[in-house]
Structure 1
Amino acid sequence: MTEQKVALEIRDRSLTKLAGNSYGRKLFSEQVDGKIDLDQPFTIEFPEQIDYLASSFIQGFFGKIYTEIGREGMEKNFDIIAPKIDNPKKVILDRLMLM
């Protein structure tokens, strides 16, 4: 099995914070949806400049993954690379628990 990794592309390089449920959903559907098997380990890589993910963005972007495989599945299969965010996986899982 090849490693499943999606490196997100954010066209606006000056953007450092991602917010908005609809923007999260749009980014997910354009760049991730259908490209990975959620039942296998996968990694999502955010661009170097991103230093903050708002709850609204997290819920929009990761909502479908969370709905399909739940917290347990995400803890087991999901990994994230976001160089400027401390413990990004915990941040995301904590915010998804609020949905």
Structure 2
Amino acid sequence: MRIELVLDKSLPEIVGNPKGVKTFKEQVENKVDWNGMNTIVFPSFIEDISVSFVQGFCSEIFKKIKKEDLLKHFEFQCEKKEIVDKILDSIFIVW
């Protein structure tokens, strides 16, 4: 399942645990294939993403699967490789 996130273009930096939870619940939760692969696409205008946003977003995922199984079910994409790197670092290094 390919899920393209719709975010506010006037806010190129996405921050905050509550915003991560809200984004997941409103745009992702009802579309996830828990038995297959899901591709979460972040808009190209995103310039930065905070650890707290990623933690909020992924906290909903980790209610259903273990962190070790994340990459079996989720792939993160953005035209800016550094955004994907920061997402993965936030999950596997910081958290």
Q: Scaled by the length of structure 1, what TM-score is found?
A: 0.81
Alpha-carbon RMSD: 1.8
**Structure 2 gap ranges (5+):** none
Over the matched positions of the two proteins, sequence identity in percent amounts to 35
- Per the alignment, in what secondary structure is the counterpart of residue 3 of structure 2? strand
**Structure 1 gap ranges (5+):** none
Cα deviation, residue 72, structure 1: 2.4
- Structure 1 residue aligned with 2:52: 56
Q: Confirm whether residue 21 of structure 1 aligns to residue 17 of structure 2.
A: yes
Cα deviation, residue 87, structure 1: 6.5
Q: Scaled by the length of structure 2, what TM-score is found?
A: 0.84
Task: Give the aligned length.
Answer: 94
Q: Confirm whether residue 69 of structure 1 aligns to residue 65 of structure 2.
A: yes
| Residue identity matched to 1:91 | K
Residues 94 and 70 of structure 1: CA distance in aligned 2, closer, same or farther (over 3 Å)? farther
Question: Whose helix fraction is larger, Structure 1's or Structure 2's?
Answer: 2
